[in-house]
Amino acid sequence: MAKYTYNLEKQHAKGKLHAIERINALCDKDSFYEIYSAARHQCTSFGMESKDIPYDGVITGFGKINGKKVAIYAQDFTVQGGSLGKVHGQKIAELIDKAIEARCPVIGINDSGGARIQEGVDSLCGYGELFFQNVRASGIIPQISIIAGPCAGGAVYSPGITDFIFAVDKISQMFITGPKVVKSVMFMDITAEDLGGVSIHSQKSGVAHFRCETEKGCYEQVRTLLDYIPHYYGEKQLPRKFKFNERKCAKRIGSILPEKSMQAYDMRDVINCVVDEDSFFEVMPEFAPMAVVGFATVEGRTVGITANNPAGIGGFLNCDASDKIARFVRYCDSFDIPLITFVDVPGFIPGPEEEQKGIIRHGAKVIYAYSEATVPKVTVITRKAYGGAYIAMCSKHLGADFVYAWPKAEIAVMGAEGALEILYAKQMKDPAQAQFVAQKSEEYRQTVMTPTVAAQHAYISEIIEPAETRERVARSLEFLENKKKTAAPAKKHGNIPL
């Protein structure tokens, strides 16, 4: 510990922990062992030949979190600004390679000024080797990034490849180019916080998956996440202890849907009535609020939850919501985490803004992700399921194993009003035809929109009461526990519409 004590005050003055303090705060007590501590740079340009940079600015090693092994590294901003040179990058790349072999998660604590300019292309070599290992590890072991300071230039791309990014209020910043470069190139004055602060990436860009108020709170959240997810592809997790008040939740879930179909409600209320008590751990809660994703347990076993949320812009799918859902579905499928999808979606959001942003391409990601996923997939339609969005949200047609619908579910190309405006446009404009329009509207609801029609065509596995949802989901997952992947046509890989 002695060799890390210098410059602690610098970090503390900024309200930040030192790299070794961060590692010790995250790992179980006395479990961390450093490797490559003697590594040094080999640069002899611009005065670097006389600089001794301890451990080349990054502490690497392995330890335990919640009793399970992890690989971990932390950049030290007090040593050459945490800048990444060739050796620095190679140390991290080697650690990731070892984590792949050891089958354990890798956690990176990023606090760096970016590429070490003095090393020129060698620093880019360090980044390149790091990125390559990030991609190799993807889908084999979980990769978690903690942004605990500035993260600029090439430094943002390693976190960008990883599975989950944690950011901390007031100390985390991520940007391709900092405010000084933006000013010199674009003649724009902007603060680091407005350019790439936590609120930007947790609410607008969707780069950060978790926003934390403090470093301590951040490390607690990382430890919680690691309790939910498999630590390597193929790990069979043992069920955790759980609580569930069946009577209380059955009563509550039956009263969640509003009387009027246009009224909003929070889908999290439904989720919390189905999963184990206090087990829902939401991912990206501030980004694209019309969609909800996260982990939970059902009878002690981890599941991935995806849902539309009528409380957020009616639950429409837009570009951001599509990306949020598709990426989460692909993560869960990568690590064999079963998926539960709660559907209440009036469609893909219309209008020129979303069309110009590429809603067709982004929406296609959801279809691709669900179709590609081979894990157990259980879908519950609570209310609306219209048009292409009905198909996209893990319908039977995209390979859902079981699809359940509540009695008030509406499954159709569109709602009654929209359908009548196309089918009976003239009559809709004529006040004298009001009775005829009302009659046709009711006819459409009873003969087209009812879940009975979909059930008769075997698109719905069963129409169930809300109070039955938990039991149906749990028994379905139990039945699908040993589901095997079906043989796919020979190919290298598909081409998701990125």
Listing DSSP states for 394-414 in one string gives T-GGGT-SEEEE-TT-EEESS
Phi first, then psi, for residue 470 (nearest 5°) are: -55, -50
Catalytic residues: 153-154, 388-389
Tokens of 406: 């509540």
Rounded to whole angstroms, how far apart are CA atoms 160 and 131?
10
In this structure, how many other beta carbons lie within 10 angstroms of the beta carbon of residue 285? 16
Rounded to whole angstroms, how far apart are CA atoms 42 and 122?
10
- What residues contact 149, with CB distance under 8 A and at least 6 apart? 16, 75, 77, 82, 110, 111, 112, 171, 172, 173
Strands (DSSP E) contained in 327-461 are 339-345, 377-386, 402-405, 410-412
Rounded to whole angstroms, how far apart are CA atoms 356 and 351?
9
Tokens of 167: 């950011």
Listing DSSP states for 67-104 in one string gives TEEEEEEEE-TTTGGG-B-HHHHHHHHHHHHHHHHHT-
